[in-house]
Amino acid sequence: MIEWLGQALGIGWNITPAGGLTGEAFVAEKDNRRLFLKRNSSPFLAVLSAEGIVPKLIWTKRMENGDVITAQEWLEGRPLKSHEMQHQRVADILHKIHHSTELLHMLLRMGRKPATSDDSLENIKHLLNSKDLIEQHVEVQVAIEYLEQLLPRTRKQKLVVCHCDINHNNLVLTEDNNIFLVDWDNAMIADPVTDFGMLLKWYIPKENWNDWLIRYGVTPSENLFERMYWYLLHDALQFLSWHTTRGEPAKVVERLNDLKEINEQIRKFIL
């Protein structure tokens, strides 16, 4: 892979892996210049760059073997700290993404179909059944019951581009004091509560939820919180299945505890 990248860049570049789970990202250095390289990035990256949501896209090249290599501007910076996720600029970048017609049109042109809650429920039930997780864990059974009970509240919502992995490591603060949201591999067209529900649960004190939502640009309501809990449950079940497949018992226990907590919050909310 590094040899192919060297062919794309030319002579004199030092190329090293950038880390990450996929092993598809690299850093190239030459004459005090750095580029962030990635193999087979989505065409979506060009629109994200044009919108100023990710660092500037420098070029895209197709290799002889069919791989597509993208090069982005390397910006010195750091991931946001957990407490910085409460900053207004995080709410602003999410609002920009969720209201971008350019991002939405690009995903649709790429053939991405909106992720409806009905389809999501059927898919997660099939996934859990294939691993016997529903029969094994009471908390999973309770979660499925809540998903079915709240499903009608999630229908007929405006679906937008969602990042679907909002955590502080994916938000980068540069030395120029700009914020970028990176790692778009899981992006989909979905209910925007998919994104800000995750952010509220993990980073915003519950007493500040209403204030954050108003600053983001929506009015807190019973329906909004029902939808938010629905997607939090769905995400927790997906992670449970993922860690089960990977054979990570400690993470499985952690996700079951997440489920128990969300189930309890829903029980208090809807009673």
User: CATH number, domain at 197?
Assistant: 3.90.1200.10
Q: Residue 172: name the closest of 26, 73, 39, 67 by CA.
A: 73
Q: In which residue ranges of the chain is pLDDT below 50? A: none
Pairing of strands 171-174, 77-79: antiparallel
Same domain, yes or no, for 122 and 239?
yes
**Do the Cβ atoms of 106 and 43 come closer than 8 Å?**
yes
* pLDDT of 171: 96
Domain boundary among 37, 59, 74: 74
HEC profile of 107-132: HHHCCCCCCCHHHHHHHHHHHHHHCC
Same domain, yes or no, for 119 and 223?
yes
Same domain, yes or no, for 84 and 113?
yes
- What is the H or E stretch that residue 34 is in? strand 33-39
Same domain, yes or no, for 18 and 123?
no
Same domain, yes or no, for 64 and 89?
no
Same domain, yes or no, for 197 and 177?
yes
Please count the residues of the chain.
Answer: 271
* pLDDT of 3: 64
Q: Residue 170: name the closest of 248, 255, 93 by CA.
A: 93
Same domain, yes or no, for 87 and 163?
yes
Same domain, yes or no, for 70 and 98?
no
- Per the structure, how many domains does the chain have? 2
Same domain, yes or no, for 189 and 93?
yes
* pLDDT of 114: 93
Q: Which residue pairs, CB below 8 angstroms and at least 24 apart, start in 156-160?
A: 157/191, 157/227, 158/191, 158/192, 159/114, 159/115, 159/116, 159/189, 159/190, 159/191, 160/97, 160/98, 160/99, 160/104, 160/189, 160/190, 160/191, 160/192
Q: Residue 194: name the closest of 161, 153, 149, 155 by CA.
A: 161
* pLDDT of 119: 94
Could you say which of 31, 92, 118, 165 is catalytic? Answer: 165
* pLDDT of 21: 53
Domain that holds residue 56: 2-74
Same domain, yes or no, for 111 and 216?
yes
* 165 given a catalytic annotation: yes
Same domain, yes or no, for 140 and 254?
yes
Q: 68 Cβ partners below 8 Å, 6+ apart?
A: 39, 40, 41, 60, 61, 62
Same domain, yes or no, for 163 and 230?
yes
**Domain of residue 49, CATH code:** 3.30.200
DSSP codes, 47-88: HHHHTTSSSPEEEEEE-TTS-EEEEEE---EEEPPGGGGGSH
